[in-house]
Amino acid sequence: MKTELTINLYKSKIDLSDATRQKSIDVLNTALATGLDIYTQTKQAHWNVKGKDFYQLHLLFDDIASVLFDPIDLMAERITALGGIALGTAKDASENSVLPDYPSTEGMSEIDHLHAISDRLALFGKLLREGMNKTDAWNDQTTNDIFTQISRNVDQKLWFVEAHLQSAQ
């Protein structure tokens, strides 16, 4: 259930139309919610992974979470720079994220956690690329650059997780 927030944009001398600013804000708020959600879901895996590769996966999931955390602030600040309101509470993330809920961790194997995290990284990467395409079409290259930067890191972390899954086949 996506939060609809109709506001008057704060005034800005950024040379983008109000319509472009609003569209970019909407795309950014969805990415912000999803970024917060994937961060917390990755921490859930970090805290609850069990098995023979516990330590390696515990560190991997913590590394992924740390890479996901900084862009949250970057997206929120871009939203406010465009004259919008960043929807960044846990409730906002829950309502606006494109990710499925994290599975119950009880009885999850290491492989189950790896699949859950890889699925979510892939969905987040897809969302970021969609945002890149939209903001490019709208000529909002600054927001496009933010999505590109985050996407690069998400794809790298997806590769790290998938490498573990490839060895498990």
Q: What is the pLDDT of residues 121-157, one digit of tens each?
A: 999 999 999 999 999 999 999 999 999 999 999 999 9
**pTM for this prediction:** 0.93
Higher pLDDT, 3 or 84: 84
- Does 10 score more than 90 pLDDT? no
Q: Residue 7: what pLDDT?
A: 62
For residues 118 and 88, is the Cβ–Cβ distance under 8 A?
no
Give residue limits of the domains in the chain: 24-167
pLDDT confidence band for 4 (50 / 70 / 90): low
**Coil vs helix vs strand at 151:** helix
Q: Give the CATH fold of the 24-167 domain.
A: Ferritin (1.20.1260)
Report d(CA 134, CA 147) in Å as an integer: 11
Report d(CA 20, CA 14) in Å as an integer: 11
H/E run at residue 21: helix 18-48
Q: Residue 148: what pLDDT?
A: 98
Q: Which residue has the tokens 């987040």?
A: 124
CB atoms within 10 A of CB 34: 23
- Does 3 score more than 60 pLDDT? no
Q: Residue 8: what pLDDT?
A: 72
Q: Residue 131: what pLDDT?
A: 98
* C-alpha atoms less than 13 angstroms from C-alpha of 102 in its C-beta half-sphere: 25
Report d(CA 78, CA 159) in Å as an integer: 28
Q: Residue 141: what pLDDT?
A: 97
